[in-house]
Structure 1
Amino acid sequence: MDKHENGASNGAGARTTRPRVVLVNTNQIRPSVAPIAFDYLHEPLVEAGFEVDLLDLCFAEDWEAEIDRYCRLRRVDFWGVTLRNTDDVYFSSQHSFVPVARKMIDALRRGSPVPVTMGGVGFSIMPQKILEACGADFGIVCEGEVAFPALLTRLLNGQAVDDLPNLVYRTDKGIVRNDVQFADLGKLSSHGRRLINNERYFLHGGQAAVETKRGCNRRCIYCVEPLTKGRKLRLHTPEQVADQVQSLVERGIYTFHVNDSEFNLSIQHPIAVCNELIRRGLHKQIEWYAYGMPAPFPDELAARMREAGCVGMNFGTDSASEKMLRILRRTFTKDDIRTAVETSRRHGFKYIIELLFGAPGETGETVKETLDYMEEIDAHRVSVTAGLRIFPGTELERMVRAEGLSRDNPNLYGPIEGNEDLIQPLFYLPTTIAEKPLEYIDSLTKGKERFFGVNSDGFNYNANDLLVEAIDSGARGAYWAILSETVDARRAALAANPVYAGDNSRQGSCRGGPSLTQLRSPAALNAERIVRKQWETRRASPSERPRTWSW
């Protein structure tokens, strides 16, 4: 449909076409991450009577030109804009995504001045502040499968919206946020996952995402998951999860990452999901990774996950100091970390331990205790991050404000003045660790191959050239696993032939050495060829492709 088929009313007042909502992906990080929320919104919007288009700016070299081209050629009735992340949440870069989101929304308005609604996890962390900063008309907090179609239907019919749950909206007295109502996920339609060009994201992002639950009932002091998805666990049925996986497998996608905050927040539901994947035979066609806590991680669950195709676990432990685990409000012990590592080895999982240093109360002794323990348990791969992003609404924010949110506080890094709302990245890293905390932590990890160095550029998932290169060469999997295997492979190549090093000294970034495609199995390489063939076919055939503008 071109611009001139504008959906205006006919003589009787009825619309000649369905109203069109255009979902806009503003996320341009590399490697590319698919906007899974838009796949989840697709069916509810269609069921509510809307035509859905996707303006995906992720791959656009010139997003302004892409927006302008779209608006010249196609009618827009409503914009829906996602903000997946407020920033890259990385101490060393402190890169905010909000300013470019504002510029994109301004460009959308210039092209088609229709209502703009924002959503996404990043937006839901501080919705009123981001709505104001980005200039949107409305916002949907937390999930949108019910609230977003309801909002658009009311706007279309000229009805009041001020009583809609999950809504953020403007009034003469300022921006108002309504209470949140969470959906019963088991009652939602299964998602076909066909709006997003998941094939292209798989080729350039190395994995596809799926979720089995939403919400988190833990109370980690820095985490926004309960703020954006609720404190109560809400479960997709095993059948819904398997439907998504099967739909993507049919298009040649075979590597998945479970997006749950922690896959093992419960035990029986993950086992039921695994059983359904096995029942359908999908376990023979896929490999997948998950985030998890060290406990509970019983052998029963680990064995079933492994049988269902899980190959890797990311254990976000933060610390191995009992003192810091209590401050951080983690619900496991250092002994649980050892047990999780032993369980992972016993069942053949790849795994990584993610450490996060710098909460209030952290000292040089607690840092050293944790790093020494990683060596004691012989953890294969450990990422080391220092500095905690202070998000509004968290216990960490309360602790830091009690300590003093001012330039006089030596533990703060990032903009303070004019950042009272914390919309700009501000980090906490206490000098109780050392006068120069980063240098101290680096001195304890430098030269030890099990550690990704403290705040290493190689472990930032945004604009990571090493990771992008590996994926473009055929690597698939969780990003930590790709980086780990890439670094190991290239270190081995260097040991065998030091000439590969050239003048590249950055950890794991040496050129030459074995091609990543040489490390893939024949089955994986064949699946890759299928994906590429199907993607090229759909790209060349408008009747076959989904309603995705940017290919």
Structure 2
Amino acid sequence: MDILLISANRERTPYPVFPLGLSYLAGPLAERGHRLKVLDLCFADDPESAVSTALDEFTPDAVVLSIRNIDNVTFPGSRSYLPGVKKIVDICRGRVPVIAGGSGFSIMPAEILAYLDADYGVVGEGEEILPELLTCISDGLIPESLPGVLVREKTGFLPARLIQSIRPAERGLFPLERYYREGGMANLQTKRGCPFSCIYCTYPLLEGRAIRVRPIGDIITEIRSLVEGFGIGYIYFVDDIFNYPPEFAEELCQAMISEKLQINWTAFINPAFITPSLLQTMIAAGCDAVEFGSESGSASMLRNLGKSFTVDDLRNSSRLCREAGADFAHYILFGGPGESEATIDETFALMDELEPTAVIAMTGIRIFPGTPLHASALADGTLAAETSLLEPVFYISPPIRETLCQMVTERALARKNWVAPGLEINMSDAMLEALRHFPVRGPLWKLMKRLGRSRIRPMSATVVESAV
């Protein structure tokens, strides 16, 4: 079959993200004999025209539409991507079967399939099940018995099937060079699955709780292909947590050192599983910056958010980074259950103490179905059962719902290393566009050391209307 692979993601803030999920499908589909064409809409000036042209010129037998995210999970500056995706489906409908999938789709598959009016949906990992679905379509069969496959106007679907062997991504059909030029890094995954219990997180729902690691040799081969085949000099490891299990991270870094790979990289790490030895090994393997999903500097809020570490873990891991000379950033989520002005002040005080390169703060927490936060919001009455979550809906602790954004703005502006995307503090589309003119490699927050003071772009309107 002739298959048109469409990457629907058009978000370029803070930088364009290579469609890794779709690239995982290219290899298995090509091995089955399918002829593939990729249409990446991230850089398209007119996405609807680009889709129409691709359909006319390639005349595919099926369209596979990958949805990375359904919105930008940013409050108060939230925006939904689904209307734009629906326009793409509308152009394809009636001409060719449309199969929707991707991490964004898999969060609310039945609701999104109905909204888009696509023909089929694939929940979760599609490397194995998508070729089976295409065989059914080719043979004129209704694929209701395939795990994780939805059919338009059919209710229900079987649970998705997790793959056990994660193969390398196939990047050759995609504009990797442009992503690297404009985004400053390439992305790579070493494992899937998350055993932790953060109350807002969808990783365990999408990838399961059991960690499935890739063979070290396969990862090294993929890194080498990025360096030697594409001229990549910086990698972002997209694993939920890079340093868990610690022994796997140690083994991978030792292999990178042994192979003398000329690469620098960044990753999210858990502060409870970093040691001086592991950090030094990571740095020797090319790591020059790390990111912590800290979410709060308040002990009570860490417990409320279901975090697996303590305030002392944040102190110790930050100290190790400072002593080793590694840039580091803490990501903060304000507004969760139990948040108050006192816990907000605790977080600012801890960040002042830790002196990270940057603090990236989000106000409000996007509610996704199936998460403990969703159940909590329903139980405490802050979310009605009939509320649709297709549009961005955020949890903000009731006592500070009206004042959260103001409190964070006032405090963040007094500190030059804070970034608050939703409040446009040290983060706006214009600022990011200007930064892209610099030869930046790695995350843009590393440039915070060059800023002399915090900046804000004036915002308008009410900032609480989309919150719960």
| Structure 1 counterpart of 2:366, one-letter code | R
Matches within 5 A, 1:129-148: 129-148=111-130
Q: Deviations over 1:87-133 (max 9, x none)?
A: 000002110011110011111236xx121111111111111111111
- Are the equivalent residues in 1 in contact too, given 2:48–2:87 (CA < 8 A)? no
Query: Cα gap change, 1:354/1:124 in structure 2, threshold over 3 Å: closer, same or farther?
Result: same
Per the TM alignment, residue 454 of structure 1 is displaced from its structure 2 partner at its CA by 7.6
Match of 2:347 in 1: 370
Q: Would you say 1:391 and 2:361 are equivalent positions?
A: no
Question: Which residue does 1:344 correspond to in 2?
Answer: 321
CA RMSD across the alignment: 2.2
Please report how far the alpha carbon of residue 390 of structure 1 lies from its aligned counterpart in structure 2 after TM superposition.
0.9
- Whichever residue aligns with residue 404 of structure 1, its letter is G
CA deviation profile, 1:431-474 (whole Å, cap 9, x unmatched): 424751221233333322232258432566xx723223322432
Q: What's the CA shift string for 1:357-409, capped at 9, x where partnerless?
A: 11111111111112112222333322222111111111111111112246xxx
Structure 2 distance, partners of 1:372, 1:305, is 29
Q: Residue 175 of structure 1 aligns to a residue in which SS? A: coil
- The amino acid across from 2:112 in the alignment is I
Aligned-residue offset at 1:141: 1.0
User: How far has the Cα of 1:205 moved from its partner?
Assistant: 1.8
Q: Distance in 2 between matches of 1:436 and 1:189?
A: 47
Query: 1:459 and 1:294, CA in 2 relative to 1: closer, same or farther beyond 3 A?
Result: farther
Following the alignment from structure 1 to structure 2, what is the Cα–Cα distance between the partners of residues 63 and 446? 37
Q: Indicate conservation of the 8 Å contact 1:441/1:454, yes or no.
A: no
TM-score normalised according to structure 1 size: 0.79
- Pair 1:149 & 2:162 matched: no
Shift, 1:25, TM fit: 1.0
Given that 2:109 and 2:123 are in contact with CA atoms closer than 8 Å, whether structure 1 keeps it comes out as yes
Partner of 1:457: 424
Secondary structure of residue in 2 paired with 1:356: strand
Amino acid at match of 1:390: I
Per-residue CA deviation, residues 39-92 of structure 1 (Å, 9 max, x unaligned), is 211111111121111011111101122122222222201100011001000002
Match of 1:270 among 249, 269, 274: 249
Whether the aligned pair in 1 keeps the contact of 2:416 and 2:451 (CA below 8 Å) is: no
The residue type equivalent to 1:132 in the other structure is: A
Task: Work out the CA distance in 1 between the residues paired with 2:175 and 2:296.
Answer: 38
Question: Take 1:65 and 1:431, find their aligned partners in 2: how far apart are those partners?
Answer: 45
Q: In structure 1, how many angstroms separate the alpha carbons of the residues matched to 2:225 and 2:204?
A: 29
Aligned residues, how many? 455
What's the counterpart of residue 234 of structure 2?
255
Percent identical: 33
Counterpart secondary structure, 1:176: coil
Partner of 1:178: 158
Aligned match of 1:409: none
In the other structure, the counterpart of 2:67 is 83
Preserved contact between residue 193 and residue 248 of structure 1 (Cα < 8 Å): no
TM (normalized to structure 2)?
A: 0.92
> Structure 1: which 5+ residue stretches go unaligned?
1-18, 407-415, 495-504, 510-551
Q: Could you tell me which amino acid in structure 1 is paired with residue 240 of structure 2? A: S
Contact 1:459/1:480, CA 8 A, preserved across alignment:
no
Match of 1:477 in 2: 442
Q: Which residue of structure 1 lines up, in the alignment, with residue 93 of structure 2?
A: 109
Deviations 1:188-244 (A, max 9, x none): 444442121211111122211000111111111111111111111111111221222
Q: Which residue of 2 aligns with 1:428?
A: 395
> For the Cα contact (< 8 Å) 2:235–2:265, is it kept in 1?
yes
Letter of the structure 1 residue corresponding to residue 306 of structure 2? R
Quote the Cα distance in structure 2 between the aligned partners of 1:54 and 1:249. Answer: 23
The CA distance in 2 between the partners of 1:327 and 1:448, in whole Å, is: 26
4+ runs deviating over 3 angstroms: 188-192, 453-456, 505-509
One-letter code aligned to 2:296: S
Tell whether the 8 Å contact from 1:458 to 1:466 is kept in structure 2 after alignment: no
**Structure 1 residues 441 and 360: alpha-carbon distance in aligned structure 2, compared to 1, 3 A threshold:** same
Q: Return the index of the structure with the highest Cα Rg.
A: 1
Q: Aligned pair in 2 of structure 1 residues 106, 210: CA closer, same or farther (>3 Å)?
A: same
Conserved 8 A contact 1:490-1:508: no
The answer to which of 330-339 and 154-163 deviates more is: 154-163
CA distance in 1, matches of 2:141, 2:25: 22
Asked if 1 retains the 8 angstrom alpha-carbon contact of 2:77 and 2:422, the reply is: no
Distance in 2 between residues matched to 1:230 and 1:507, nearest whole Å: 39
Q: Aligned AA for 2:378?
A: R
Q: Which range moved further: 236-245 or 45-54?
A: 236-245
Q: Secondary structure at the match of 1:148?
A: helix
Contact 1:289 1:310 in 2 (8 A): yes
Q: In 2, distance between residues paired with 1:291 and 1:363?
A: 27
Q: Is this contact kept in 2: 1:216–1:226, CA < 8 A?
A: yes
